[in-house]
Amino acid sequence: MPRIALLQLTAHTEPTENIAKTEKAIRQAASEGAQIICTQELFTTEYFCITQDTDNFDLADPIPGPLTENHQALAKELGVVIVASGFEKRATGLYHNTAWVIDADGSYLGHYRKMHIPQDPGFEEKFYFTPGDKGYKSWDTQFGKIGVLICWDQWYPEAARLTALAGAEILIYPTAIGWLPEEKEQLGEAQHNAWQAVQCGHAVANSCYVVAINRTGTEGETEFWGQSFISNHYGQVIAKAPVHEEQILTAELDLDALEQHRRIWPFFRDRRIDSYSDITKRFVD
């Protein structure tokens, strides 16, 4: 049974500080037995999407590039799978919110570009990110079949389903989500409940593990709600981090039990694919 670790951390202004801090946490997680180690969304930076500022494009990195090469060396040294999320500069004027997967032998398996891009006060992502164009993928790592989606993708069952249909046993969601002060008192509990519940639903509907790695701390007016969690294929939360504290959250994933579960709850077998054509329409009038 592979052990997974979620790195719920605060972020600092300087990318170099965040990179060093995350590497330290990766090493600690590996020393404690983790075999799959996952960062929060945009782990190299503070959540710069709070405002629209063209200077923030300077924070982007080529992917693959020096950042991913460092993770390749680290993964090989420690014998762990690394799943990380950063700000990709694909070309001048073309940027993505991107996650990459490094296998335990240091090989670069590939990357995923966030498909669903939100636009809300304090989450000005359409200003920065071009929607992904690499589709929904699964990577067969030394410790399990992994699919990666990013934050706003969490709310879309289609994304979870297609990633599971590509073979994923574990859906990993690097995340940056929190409360705005004018909303927290009235809606804060409901917002968090919806976020956790919809992802646990993906775990049930796709007979897979779901993990969400959120940041913690306050940046600008946004209070990130932490509470990174791991759900099993029954939608049960088997590990959960606190709101306001950094934590390396770990759990063992019983992939043999998942295999048996899929045999007796055969959701993929019973899908009526002949009846779903309208799902590709924007709206059914």
State pLDDT tens for residues 86-143. 999 999 999 999 999 999 999 999 999 999 999 988 899 999 999 999 999 999 999 9
User: How many distinct structural domains can be found in the chain?
Assistant: 1
Q: Is 126 a catalytic residue?
A: no
State pLDDT tens for residues 169-215. 999 999 999 999 998 999 989 999 999 999 999 999 999 999 999 99
Q: Is residue 51 part of a domain?
A: yes
What is the residue range of 118's domain?
A: 3-263
Q: Is residue 275 part of a domain?
A: no
Mean per-residue pLDDT, 234-251? 98
* Lookup: tokens for 41: 């969304």
Q: Is residue 96 part of a domain?
A: yes
Q: H or E stretch including 179?
A: strand 178-179
Q: Is residue 273 part of a domain?
A: no
Identified catalytic residue from 41, 46, 169, 219: 41
pLDDT of res. 74 = 98
Q: Is residue 269 part of a domain?
A: no
Identified catalytic residue from 38, 151, 200, 208: 151
Assign residue 99 the CATH number of its domain. 3.60.110.10
Identified catalytic residue from 38, 49, 89, 114: 114
Longest dimension (CA), the chain: 55
Q: Is 114 a catalytic residue?
A: yes
Q: Is residue 278 part of a domain?
A: no
Q: Is 145 a catalytic residue?
A: no
Is 57 strand, coil or helix? helix
Q: Is residue 284 part of a domain?
A: no
Q: Is residue 281 part of a domain?
A: no
Mean per-residue pLDDT, 250-260? 96
Q: Is 40 exposed, middle or buried (0-12, 13-18, 19+ CB in 10 A)?
A: buried
